[in-house]
Structure 1
């Protein structure tokens, strides 16, 4: 790994590989804290590299110091959990037996609450080969110097790298320094044909709330994507999703936002995060029928294509999808489906206040012909225990919240 001022992370970064790796190479690029001291105390070989505004140069220097046949290259704020770490040697053996040169792992970015922010697949375990090195000053890419493809084994279902570098305090510090922005701009100036860098440029501008420049950067990246994009291309899916966010933040016309959404779902058929994001935009704007269709699209994609290296955000917010679906049904007067989706919520989590409230609102309807209380109680008895005081209190509170006459008296 290459490091600078990572005393908070270095111990964990050097712990996951104990008993698995034959050596640990730490290349320090100018730490002013106890990073080097801790790394040396933990038995790592520490080298020093004068920083030249080039992550690839530092990483390639680190590779040269390795004596093993295979390399695991993680950042200091990344780690494998112990269960996955124990699988690595076996996957290396399998890859070797099949003539492979690298292994795809899942990389998941965590936010402050430990929830998934985004994900992608990366080659972080690879064979030490003469011409296999990193390129680009930042957001570096592992590749051969002649451009031919690396033979890679896909282990994204088995191996996951956890990344904490997107947490607020760390991200704020990086953003304030503008280090990444300046390196990206320099890389684009030197290699304008590397259109993927515009995606990273968009992220920097978006993080700085410069949504107009961010939209322009995402559009430049998107314009150079193929017409049909595989569902496992998380970067492309994120670019479309972030562009929607930028359009919304700029107050662009509904037609512009919807056109961008249609372009996204036509070109990326498998990712559920995009319709989930658009469903929330529709819902917040009061377009409930459109929100309903977008959320159904998200659920359909989750069911058909799963979540391996895609759609983690939609999956993580599955309860929110059902909540908004049921509320959208209420808004358009579709009481039957409001009951259906709110019932799905409380069947999984009977203490979901929102799910129960929506269900009772659907049973109540417009208030003219509500479902009789005894029939509602009979329906709820399949989920709730009427000998449990907590369950009774939950139903009473929800009934009072929606003004369902006679419910509390009946329960009492």
Structure 2
């Protein structure tokens, strides 16, 4: 029997207790769930687990690990499931994790300090470390708002690649979310067969979204990202071009320029890639990744001295600010050597 989503939030400020709620949505995560929960067991005060249709032992494992388990029919909307989990939380702060993610135990004390202090902010950007192989330096860094105050006006948006930051910023402004040196280690990309299944699922969801709202810039970006991860660079480039025409100045624009340049590199469209990078560099001069890719494009054309000069510039710049840009680790250091 499913517990249906309530029409109005139950977690009003007056009914919340001090502490930290872990909110998760899961499906068939019996292999990953124990490691995830054990990584925060001594940090959080309650665990909210929303299951969207598991056929394995996920629900049983969650209950055995102390989680409050709720069931919700899957409708193809990640934001809806996330928001349902937030409604169940009873503590003043919320931490959001996926089952294939873990926190580092030595950073628990910093999190406790952040949520018990009186900092004038509503949430924190954490470092999402996405591992792509078993090599320790093969990862990218994303800034994600996964630790935030439990308020009914703060809700996720986006059926795929959902985010809560826009709603917090809409109420409080950009400065209300601060970056902190807390890491979320994400190893979901290590399973390539599962990654392909999830990507195909996401594309189906985004196709439905596009039919209803073909000019939604974030959905176009999300679709481009899925195609990019599949290696379909030509179609990804088309999606990113449409995104750029609709989202200049948004928080995904820098990543769009970066991914468009990579597409051009893979498609041997070198001059087009250089043109794209010049536009991006004018807007984001401190994004080292754009300069690194310029060096790659010059190198592919045999302009070795020019490439070396540009890569020296990236070494001088160093890695870009992690809370502003998504980038491969080492792009401002050893990758440019």
Please list the CA deviations of residues 314-360 of structure 1 after superposition, one character each: whole Å capped at 9, or x if unmatched: 626733422xxxxxxxxxxxxxxxxxxxxxxxxxxxxxxxxxxxxxx
User: For the Cα contact (< 8 Å) 1:40–1:46, is it kept in 2?
Assistant: yes
Aligned to 1:102: 123
Aligned residues: 310
Q: Do residues 220 (structure 1) and 242 (structure 2) align?
A: yes
Change (3 A) 1:222 1:297: farther
- TM-score in terms of structure 1 length: 0.69
Choose the corresponding residue for 2:275, options 259, 262, 277: 259
Please list the CA deviations of residues 239-270 of structure 1 after superposition, one character each: whole Å capped at 9, or x if unmatched: 22221222233333x43222122122222111
State the distance in 1 between where 2:111 and 2:63 align: 24
State the distance in 1 between where 2:35 and 2:169 align: 36
Q: Do residues 244 (structure 1) and 268 (structure 2) align?
A: no
- CA deviation after TM superposition for structure 1 residue 37, in Å: 1.7
- CA deviation after TM superposition for structure 1 residue 215, in Å: 0.4
Aligned to 2:292: 276
- CA deviation after TM superposition for structure 1 residue 23, in Å: 0.8
- TM-score in terms of structure 2 length: 0.83
User: For the Cα contact (< 8 Å) 1:131–1:144, is it kept in 2?
Assistant: yes
Please list the CA deviations of residues 289-310 of structure 1 after superposition, one character each: whole Å capped at 9, or x if unmatched: 221232123123218x665654
Change (3 A) 1:257 1:100: closer
- CA deviation after TM superposition for structure 1 residue 66, in Å: 1.3
- CA deviation after TM superposition for structure 1 residue 55, in Å: 1.0
State the distance in 2 between where 1:61 and 1:311 align: 28
Unpaired stretches in structure 1, ≥5 consecutive residues: 323-412
Between 122-131 and 240-249, the greater mean CA deviation after superposition: 240-249
Aligned to 2:62: 39
Q: Do residues 313 (structure 1) and 328 (structure 2) align?
A: yes
Change (3 A) 1:306 1:47: closer
User: For the Cα contact (< 8 Å) 1:116–1:312, is it kept in 2?
Assistant: no
Change (3 A) 1:146 1:102: closer
- RMSD, aligned CA: 2.6
Aligned to 2:3: none
State the distance in 2 between where 1:100 and 1:264 align: 30
Which structure 1 residue ranges, 4+ long, deviate > 6 Å from structure 2?
Answer: none
State the distance in 2 between where 1:147 and 1:141 align: 13
Aligned-partner SS, 2:91: coil
Report which structure shows greater RCO (CA 8 Å, sep ≥6).
2
User: For the Cα contact (< 8 Å) 2:82–2:156, is it kept in 1?
Assistant: yes
| Structure (1 or 2) with the greater helix fraction | 1
Aligned-partner SS, 1:115: coil
Choose the corresponding residue for 1:300, options 312, 316, 329: 316
State the distance in 2 between where 1:277 and 1:290 align: 12
Aligned to 1:159: 182
User: For the Cα contact (< 8 Å) 2:141–2:329, is it kept in 1?
Assistant: no
| Structure (1 or 2) with the greater strand fraction | 2
State the distance in 2 between where 1:146 and 1:271 align: 23
Aligned-partner SS, 1:134: coil
State the distance in 2 between where 1:26 and 1:245 align: 38
